[in-house]
Chain A
Amino acid sequence: MSRSLERWSELKGRQIEPEQPKLFPAYVVWELTLSCDHACLHCGSRAAVSRQQELSPEEALLIVPQLAELGTREVVLIGGEAYLSPVFLPLVSALAEAGITPVMTTGGWDMTPERARTMAQAGMKRVSVSLDGLEKAHQQIRQRRDSFKHALRAMTAIGDAGMDISANTHFNRLNQADLEGLYTLLKMQGVRSWQIQITAALGRAADQPEMLFQPWDLLDFMPRVAALKQRGLTENLLIMPGNNLGYFGPEEALLRSPLPGGQDFFQGCQAGKFVLGIESNGDVKGCPSLPSLPYVGGNLRNHSLRDIWEKAAALAFRRNPSPLWGFCATCPFAEVCKGGCNFTAHALLGRPGNNPYCHFRARNLANKGRRERLLRIAPAQGNPFDHGLFELIEEEFNPSERYHSASP
């Protein structure tokens, strides 16, 4: 099959009819190790050194047929830094042989041409390089000198090896000004698709509250993203929002649709319905970003993936969603949106169902001269995927600040 056909097939594989009765882990994000060659300021998993009792290569490879049996279409290998895991290349091969598309998210520090070629030979299709701003912001966030240069070299190596180059960026107050500059840079680098999300108050990011967006920052940010999305659709750079970027502003259809003219819209968190996350010690969650403690449904050393998928209550929380509260409970889009991204809301307010990072909500409040401000009232403990606690303060919003409010 030509790469052109594969791309259509891979896009189709990422599309789901959410009301279909059969739930299955179509899209899996698998953390191979927490060992990392970066220690980023915003890292939700606080990656740097490996977890205790990470799965051995033999144990990891046993999971591949279980994923295939459940109908998994695509697996994203992440870390830490996935290529630091000894099972990385064997796993890429095993996934490809099982008919599952292997892709990867990387910081790209040591993505040499040789490594990229080996990955392509093993069956890797796309690699998404994390680029968290132009040089200054990227290196401030990723806490390593020359990491920007390494990321750009990684993109070149990935493209030269014949894999699709993608990018992903966490936007926050440190790097939001780089949005348009990044678009231009990514186009020059030959990037074909770009995932944009906002930094959530998870892990190390919970230790940096001044870095996080305030909800009213979306009033400025979302139209800028939408303008670039429109431009990218005619310049062959597909911009897709992560699940925590939204929701239901006037640009919703444009932002959420992968093709021009589409009418997609956010249809609720798909954790444990069509999305699955695996931590490097074998713990399974409905989504890779969910806080570990309340959402791990079981461990693959003790249970089969099917058993965890079908029986674990912690994975099923979105199959019978908990009630919405706060603004989300009264929102006209509540029935379809269902409170937006659950991990983002939980990381802020200690439980899902009320998500202040919402464009519709910020616009609604701004039209009444109001805004919501997040104030951290309790720090995180310092563990992977942990969170602190924030208070939500509604206050007056000066209209003159409305579209010029992205500075701390």
Chain B
Amino acid sequence: MKQCRSCQGFVPPSYQQCPHCDRMIKTSAARSWKLAANLFLGSSLTMTLSACYGTPPPMPECDPKIENQGACVTSSPSPTNSGEPSPPASESPVASASPSAAPTVSPQSTASPSPEASTKP
């Protein structure tokens, strides 16, 4: 789903205008290329399961020195993670529900999405 560059809200695919802030949405060339690449390479959408009588998922430790931990590259490491190894790429949860180009996580492509270009109407 598209995101508005102005307010970061999601924009339904058929909408040309952000339903949150009324900004006009236009698809950039980079975005078009990314969508085409995703279609070619396959895309994945993930969500985190929850239930109201359930528990939250665990907060994983993030180690900025280790690759393939998705968006963890931007967060502070936990004081308890020193000395403990980080998981291999295949063990890392995905950081994003946005279409990603490969089954394994690409930290920059998923953690730093390119919002839609927007212009004020």
Scoring B residues 75 to 96 as 1 if CB is less than 8 Å from chain A, else 0, what string do you get?
A: 1101011001111000111111
A408 CB within 8 Å of chain B:
no
What's the least CB distance linking A358 to chain B, in Å?
13
How many residues of B sit at the interface, in one of the four size bands? 35 or more
**How far, in whole Å, are A241 and B52 apart by their CA atoms in the complex?**
9
- Which residues in B have their C-beta under 8 angstroms from that of A209? none
Residue in B12, B53, B56, B85 whose CB lies within 8 Å of A5 = B85
Assess whether A164 is in contact with B12, with CB atoms less than 8 Å apart: no
- Which residues in B have their C-beta under 8 angstroms from that of A234? 75-76
- Which residues in B have their C-beta under 8 angstroms from that of A11? 48, 57-58, 60, 93
Residue in B48, B53, B81 whose CB lies within 8 Å of A258 = B48
With both beta carbons as reference points, the residue of chain A lying nearest to B92 in the complex is identified as A8
**How far, in whole Å, are A341 and B53 apart by their CA atoms in the complex?**
13
What's the least CB distance linking B44 to chain A, in Å?
6
With both beta carbons as reference points, the residue of chain A lying nearest to B112 in the complex is identified as A261
B32 CB within 8 Å of chain A:
no
- Which residues in B have their C-beta under 8 angstroms from that of A184? none
- Which residues in A have their C-beta under 8 angstroms from that of B80? 4
Assess whether A256 is in contact with B48, with CB atoms less than 8 Å apart: yes
What's the least CB distance linking B113 to chain A, in Å?
5
Assess whether A236 is in contact with B19, with CB atoms less than 8 Å apart: no
B67 CB within 8 Å of chain A:
no
Assess whether B49 is in contact with A4, with CB atoms less than 8 Å apart: no
With both beta carbons as reference points, the residue of chain A lying nearest to B103 in the complex is identified as A17
Scoring B residues 40 to 66 as 1 if CB is less than 8 Å from chain A, else 0, what string do you get?
A: 000011111111111111111110000
Assess whether B50 is in contact with A242, with CB atoms less than 8 Å apart: yes
**How far, in whole Å, are A363 and B47 apart by their CA atoms in the complex?**
24
Residue from A4, A243, A275 having most chain B Cβ neighbours under 10 A: A4
Assess whether B92 is in contact with A18, with CB atoms less than 8 Å apart: no
Assess whether A105 is in contact with B54, with CB atoms less than 8 Å apart: yes
Main SS of the interface on chain B? loop
Assess whether B76 is in contact with A236, with CB atoms less than 8 Å apart: yes
Assess whether B91 is in contact with A9, with CB atoms less than 8 Å apart: yes
**How far, in whole Å, are A11 and B54 apart by their CA atoms in the complex?**
14
B28 CB within 8 Å of chain A:
no
Indicate whether A243 sits within 8 Å of B15 (C-beta atoms), given known contacts A248-B10, A259-B93, A261-B71.
no
Residue in B45, B57, B86, B96 whose CB lies within 8 Å of A193 = B57
Assess whether B54 is in contact with A288, with CB atoms less than 8 Å apart: yes
- Which residues in B have their C-beta under 8 angstroms from that of A41? none
**How far, in whole Å, are A192 and B60 apart by their CA atoms in the complex?**
9
Indicate whether A253 sits within 8 Å of B71 (C-beta atoms), given known contacts A15-B49, A16-B47, A27-B51.
no
A348 CB within 8 Å of chain B:
no
- Which residues in B have their C-beta under 8 angstroms from that of A264? 46-48, 96-97
Residue from A5, A44, A258, A343 having most chain B Cβ neighbours under 10 A: A258
Assess whether B61 is in contact with A4, with CB atoms less than 8 Å apart: yes
- Which residues in B have their C-beta under 8 angstroms from that of A244? 52
B7 CB within 8 Å of chain A:
yes
**How far, in whole Å, are A205 and B110 apart by their CA atoms in the complex?**
40
By a beta-carbon cutoff of 8 Å, the part of chain A in contact with chain B is 2-5, 7-12, 14-19, 26-27, 29, 31, 44, 76, 78, 103-105, 125-128, 164, 166-168, 170, 192-195, 197, 200, 233-244, 248-254, 256-267, 270, 274-275, 277, 287-289, 332-333, 335-336, 341, 343, 360, 363-364
Name 6 interchain pairs, CB-CB below 8 A, sorted by A. Answer: A3-B84, A258-B48, A263-B110, A265-B47, A267-B45, A289-B51
